[in-house]
Structures are given as C-alpha cells and as structure tokens.
Amino acid sequence: YSQHVKNTGVTCYTCHMGKPLPNGLWFYSSQTDYLRHYLDRDGARVISQTVAPASVNRSSVKQTEWTYALMISQSRSLGVNCTYCHNSRQFSSWREAPPQRVTAYHGILMLRDVNQNYLAPLQPVYPAVRLGAMGDAPKAQCVTCHNGAYKPLYGAQMTKDFPALWGRADWNGAPFPGIMTMAADTTKRDSTVATPVAAPAQRTSAKTAPAAPVGMN
C-alpha cells in the first residue's frame, strides 16, 4: 500500500472520521456497477489505439459509460478535475499524464485488495440490516478515505505517531528518524524498570468508579 499512501499512511480516523460507518460505502446495484472496478472487474481502458476504424477495439458504449462514471466519481472523491491525472490531449497516455495518475492506479489496486480480501469476506458476520439489497457486504471506494480532498485530511501525517500500523517491524521509524529514537528510549526504559508505577494504579482506581449511570442500559 505504500505505493499509494506513501509515508503519510492512514489510521482508523482517515475513513471513520469520528463515525461508526465511514463515507461512500457501496453495494452491488445497477447504478454502482462501475464501482466493481474496485472489486472484481477490470477493463477501464476503452480508447482506441489506432487511428482508422478497426476491429481491435471491442469496447462497447456501456463499457465506455462505466469508465466515464468511474472517472467522474474519482474526480469528485478527490475534489479535482480530469487534468489532475490526465493530459486531456490524450486521455489514455500514461507518459503524458501527471504522476498523480500512477498514484491513482496504485489506489485502485489497493482498493481491490481491501475490498476483495478484507471487506467483502466479512459478509457472513454482518447482521442483515448492514448488507446491500443483493446481500453483499459494504465496500470502500476512493471517497471513503479522500472525503473530497486530493489527499485525505489534506495530507496530514497519520501514521507518524503509530509506527506499529505499518505492520512491518523494519519499517518502524525508518522514514521518521524521531521514531527510531523513541523506540530506542523504550528499550532503555524496559531495562531500568523501577519508576513507572503511577499509571497502572490510576487505571485500577478508574475500575472502581460506578459502572454505568442509571438509565444507560
């Protein structure tokens, strides 16, 4: 995922933003068919590569409409227009496109992994009320993280203070020298276990507080 989220990363807040259900969840329906590009369909590339009419391009009008619907939704998800990722002289050209297009492509691949391997397989554990009309689990799309900004939360560093979220021990602090120092400090504190006693005591006293106010059941 680092090809897309770079060193900025994401936390629960990127998608959830203080709410139990994030924005832009989608389910199967004929209106959202194009979003299956983020799940189990490929084939957004519809522009002919030849000048004269030839039988090499088999894209249908419907496929072309899916591509444009997908592109309009990507633009709206990021609050940008087509030229943020394309040279409008030749929409299909990667060489002439701004680098953001490659980042966006890695975003598509990331979403496929998230949707195929993490969100869709949760289907059997959701209560029926959380499933779509066709019985599928909620899935994410670009707006789920981006919320209308070219970078989620306008590029605020999310994982800097949570190195464990990178999921790779050898990544801990690598892009952030400050965190390397913190990790080293922790080891030092472990070897001189003598002082830190106050915090656990506080937690115990919190447990003895009244369990729940009347009427909270």
For ligand HEC, the binding residues (CB under 6 A) are 4-6, 8, 10, 12, 14-16, 20-22, 25, 44-47, 67-68, 71-72, 74-75, 78, 80, 82, 84-86, 91-92, 100-101, 103-105, 107-108, 111, 114, 119, 130, 138, 140, 142, 144-146, 150-152, 155
Minimum distance from residue 168 beta carbon to ligand HEC (Å): 16
Strand ranges (E), 77-211: none
Q: Fill in the DSSP letter of residue 115.
A: I
Minimum distance from residue 116 beta carbon to ligand HEC (Å): 13
Between 36 and 151, whose beta carbon lies closer to ligand HEC? Answer: 151
Minimum distance from residue 90 beta carbon to ligand HEC (Å): 9
Minimum distance from residue 189 beta carbon to ligand HEC (Å): 26
Query: Taking a C-beta distance cutoff of 8 angstroms, is the pair 147, 18 a contact?
Result: no
Minimum distance from residue 37 beta carbon to ligand HEC (Å): 6
The SS3 assignment for 205 reads: helix
Between CA 82 and CA 88 the distance in angstroms is: 7
Between CA 118 and CA 131 the distance in angstroms is: 15
Between 167 and 178, whose beta carbon lies closer to ligand HEC? Answer: 167
Structure tokens at 134: 């066709």
Between 148 and 150, whose beta carbon lies closer to ligand HEC? Answer: 150
Helix or strand run (H / E) with residue 28: none
Q: Torsion angle, CA of 119/80/11/113, rounded to 10 degrees? A: 30
Between 32 and 100, whose beta carbon lies closer to ligand HEC? Answer: 100
Between CA 7 and CA 150 the distance in angstroms is: 16
Between 79 and 196, whose beta carbon lies closer to ligand HEC? Answer: 79
